[in-house]
Amino acid sequence: MKAVIQAGGAGTRLVSVTKDLPKPMVDIGGKPILQWQLESLKRSGILEAMIIVSSKSTAIQDYFGNGERLGMKISYYVEDTPLGTGGAFAYVASKIQEDFIFLLGDLMLDVSWERMIAFHNELKGMITAYVHPNSHPEDSDILILGDDGLVRNILPKKEPRDFFYKNLVLAGAYIISSSLLETFEDIDEPFKMDFEKEILIPTIVCEGVYGYVCSEYIKDCGTPSRYYSVIHDLETGVIAAKNLKNPQKAIFLDRDGVINVFGDYVRTADQFVLMNGVAEAIKMINQSGYLAIVITNQPIVARGDTTMAELHNIHNKMETLLGQSGAYLDAVYFCPHHPDKGFDGEVPELKIDCECRKPKIGMLLKAKERFNIDLSASWFVGDHYRDIQTGMNAGCQTVHLTCGDPNYVGRFTEAKPDYVCKDLMEAVSLILSKKE
**Residue 20 has what pLDDT?**
41
Tell me what the mean pLDDT of segment 216-239 comes to.
90
Q: Is the pLDDT of residue 186 over 90?
A: no
Residue 179 has pLDDT above 70, yes or no: yes
Task: Assess whether pLDDT exceeds 50 at residue 13.
Answer: no
What pLDDT is attached to residue 14? Answer: 36
Q: Is 62 tagged catalytic?
A: no
Instruction: Give residue 15's pLDDT.
Output: 31
State yes or no: is 254 an active-site residue: yes
**Span 58-68, average pLDDT:** 93
For the segment 287-299, the average pLDDT, to the nearest whole number, is 95
Average pLDDT score, the chain:
91
pLDDT tens per residue across span 394-405: 999 999 999 999
99, 254, 383, 405: the active-site residue = 254
Q: Where are the domains of the chain?
A: 2-238, 248-433
Q: pLDDT (tens digit, 9 = 90+) per residue, 237-281?
A: 999 999 999 999 999 999 999 999 998 889 999 999 999 999 999
User: What value does the mean pLDDT take over residues 10-20?
Assistant: 36
Instruction: Return the pLDDT at 22.
Output: 52
Q: How confident is the model at residue 23 (pLDDT cuts 50, 70, 90)?
A: low
More reliable by pLDDT, 222 or 12: 222
Task: With cut-offs at 50, 70 and 90, classify the pLDDT of residue 436.
Answer: low
Look up the CATH architecture of domain 2-238. Alpha-Beta Complex (3.90)
Q: Where residue 107 falls among pLDDT bands split at 50, 70, 90?
A: very high
The yes-or-no verdict on residue 378 having pLDDT over 60 is yes
- Set 106, 110, 233, 256: catalytic member: 256
Determine the pLDDT at residue 197.
Answer: 92
Same fold across 2-238 and 248-433? no
Quick one: average pLDDT of 117-138? 94
| Predicted confidence (pLDDT) at residue 332 exceeds the cutoff of 90 | yes
Q: At the topology level of CATH, where does 248-433 sit?
A: Rossmann fold (3.40.50)
What integer is the mean pLDDT of 148-166?
92
Q: Of 80 and 275, which is predicted with more confidence?
A: 275
Q: Which 3-state string (H, E, C) describes the chain?
A: CEEEEECCCCCCECHHHHCCCEHHHCEECCEEHHHHHHHHHHHCCCCEEEEEEECCCCHHHHHHCCCHHHCCEEEEEEECCCCCCCCCHHHHHHHCCCCEEEEECCEEEECCHHHHHHHHHHHCCCEEEEEECCCCHHHCCEEEECCCCEEEEEECCCCCCCCCCCCCEEEEEEEECHHHHHHHCCCCCCCCCCHHHHHHHHHHHCCCEEEEECCCEEEECCCHHHHHHHHHHHHCCHHHHCCCCCCECEEEECCECCCECCCCCCCCHHHCCECCCHHHHHHHHHCCCCEEEEEEECCCCCCCCCCHHHHHHHHHHHHHHHHHCCCCCCEEEEECCCCCCCCCCCCHHHCCCCCCCCCCCHHHHHHHHHHCECHHHCEEEECCHHHHHHHHHHCCEEEEECCCCCCCCCCCCCCCCCEEECCHHHHHHHHHHCCC
